[in-house]
Amino acid sequence: MKKYFVSVALMALVAACSGGDEKKESKESEASETTAAPEVKDPSENPDYKAGLALVAKSDCLTCHKVAEKLIGPAYQEVANKYAGQDTAIAYLSKKIIAGGSGVWGAIPMTPHPQLAQADVEQMVKYILLLKQ
């Protein structure tokens, strides 16, 4: 992850020096598999954001979670602020969503989601992590 940030910083520097070619840069970021692409200014343009949001909207997540406010569960922005940039975030959070559990944000437990596919849950987590403020 660190390496990625360094190379992004270098890319930005090179782009700035050579007059910049933002279109090319954003194409490269779309091709990348990394979740939090810091050079994408509007995260809703990120394909991970769109795919993850669609899955979240299709499941029961939004009965307990909102983007910017605590509901029964923590606001997704709070979750993103806590975990974005951590190497283990996707593995940890996808496991937690499937297994359910409590204790991190309070005593109320999240219901388990054993019916969801691991890949779909990971995609949801990628979307949530892009909400970092």
- Which residue type is seen at 123? Q
d(CA 82, CA 75): 11
Give Cα separations from 49 to 20, 40, 71, 99 (angstroms).
25, 11, 21, 23
Tell whether residue 73 is a contact of ligand HEC (CB under 6 A). yes
Q: Which two tokens stand for residue 64?
A: 């307990």
Of residues 106, 112, 117, 118, which one binds ligand HEC by CB under 6 A?
106
- Which residue type is seen at 71? L
Tell whether residue 102 is a contact of ligand HEC (CB under 6 A). yes
Give Cα separations from 68 to 6, 29, 32, 42, 54 (angstroms).
30, 26, 27, 16, 18
Between 84 and 105, CB nearer to ligand HEC: 105
d(CA 7, CA 34): 13
Residues touching ligand HEC, count (CB under 6 A): 27
- Minimum distance, C-beta of residue 47 to ligand HEC, in the bound complex (Å): 18
Of residues 79, 90, 130, 131, which one binds ligand HEC by CB under 6 A?
79
Between 47 and 100, CB nearer to ligand HEC: 100
- Which residues sit at the interface with ligand HEC, rule CB under 6 A? 56, 59-61, 63-65, 72-74, 79, 93, 96-97, 101-106, 108-111, 113, 124, 128
